[in-house]
Amino acid sequence: MSDNLKAAFIILMFLLFNNHSFIINAEQTPSPITISIFEDDLTGDKQHETIQLKGSLLHDNSSFYQNIWIEIKSIHSEKWKIPFTGGYDPHIQLLDLTQDQVNDLFYQSAQNKNDHFYTHHLYSLKNGVIKEVPLPKQSHIKGHFRNDFQIEIQTSIRNENPIMIEVNEFKNKYVEHGIYDTKGNLLEQAPIMIAPVSKYEPLLINKSKGYGLKSYQKISGGHTKDPLGVIEIDWYYENGAWVILQTDWVPNRTSN
């Protein structure tokens, strides 16, 4: 075979291989899909906008969306787009959470299909301006080991009415790790595990006040495998800030 024929053959094989690779990649990258469509007045102009939640799956057999975004269109041809990171089971709710008489956009998706942690965002589009509203956080939650195999959890800055939890079910582990002696005397102070808020849910306060949010925050002992319970907080947006309406402690089923 001449050098020219060899060169032509190599170029042909290269083109065929690249074309085949392009077809495979195209098949493995699903086209964007519309997950849900809503119509509501998000700008406050008394006209409904069209809100579309869209995403592209990682591949055809996956339930994970590698890209998620919201497209909003008005009857005046105005357009807005809000992008999000990837996740599972994305959905939105349209509720007036900021108490300004105009519905807001509350977004949620699961971070992992095998656990209970979620990504959340709250957006306002009043007057046609996209504004992300920070979600509430309780910054005063602290916890400490106490004598007699107990943990004290502080839920307010003044430490009023702290939560006292017995951790007898984990006492052998804590004795082994040198936190307690066998009689329950505290030998060494160790941090407890306070997870970030794992989930927010819209909560109807009452007909006159409208909606707020409920947050869920998991508390564990010396390790995440020592679940103690969940702090549930009811929040309400008032005068541009989140206020706490109620704090509840929900113990783990196996905890005292």
User: Which CA distances in Å does 183 have to 39, 174, 195?
Assistant: 63, 12, 29
- Give the residues across from 54 on adjacent strands: 34, 69
Tokens 């704090």 -> residue: 247
Residues 166 and 183 placed together within one structural domain of the fold:
yes
Q: Are residues 199 and 234 in the same domain?
A: yes
- What whole-number distance in Å separates Cα of residue 90 and Cα of residue 122? 14
Q: Do the beta carbons of residue 110 and residue 51 sit within 8 Å?
A: no
Are 56 and 88 in a shared domain?
Answer: yes
Instruction: Note whether 78 and 163 are same-domain residues.
Output: no
3-state SS assignment for residue 108: strand
- Are residues 62 and 7 part of one domain? no
Pairing type for strands 131-132 and 79-84 reads unpaired
Q: Which one-letter amino acid corresponds to residue 117?
A: F
Residue 44: give the domain boundaries. Answer: 33-132
38-74 b/e (C-beta count within 10 Å ≥ 16 → b): bebbbbeeeeebebebbbbbeeeeeebbeebbbebeb
Using the 3D structure, point to which of 108, 132, 156 is the last residue of a domain: 132
Residue 21: predicted pLDDT: 44
Per-residue pLDDT tens digits of the chain, which is 256 residues long: 555 555 554 554 554 445 544 444 445 668 999 999 999 999 999 999 999 999 999 998 899 999 999 999 999 999 999 999 999 999 999 999 999 999 999 999 999 877 678 999 999 999 999 999 999 999 889 999 999 999 999 988 877 789 999 999 999 999 999 999 999 999 998 889 999 999 999 999 999 999 999 999 999 998 888 999 999 999 999 999 999 999 999 998 654 4
Domain end call among 76, 105, 132: 132
Asked if the structure places residue 7 within a domain, the reply is yes
Predicted pLDDT of residue 115: 65
Helical H segments across the chain, by residue range: 3-28, 171-176
**Cα 169 from chain centre:** 30
Residues 14 and 86 in one domain: no
Domain total of the chain: 3
Q: Do the Cβ atoms of 200 and 213 come closer than 8 Å?
A: yes
Cβ atoms 165, 154 nearer than 8 A: no
Q: Domain ends where: 132, 163, 198? A: 132
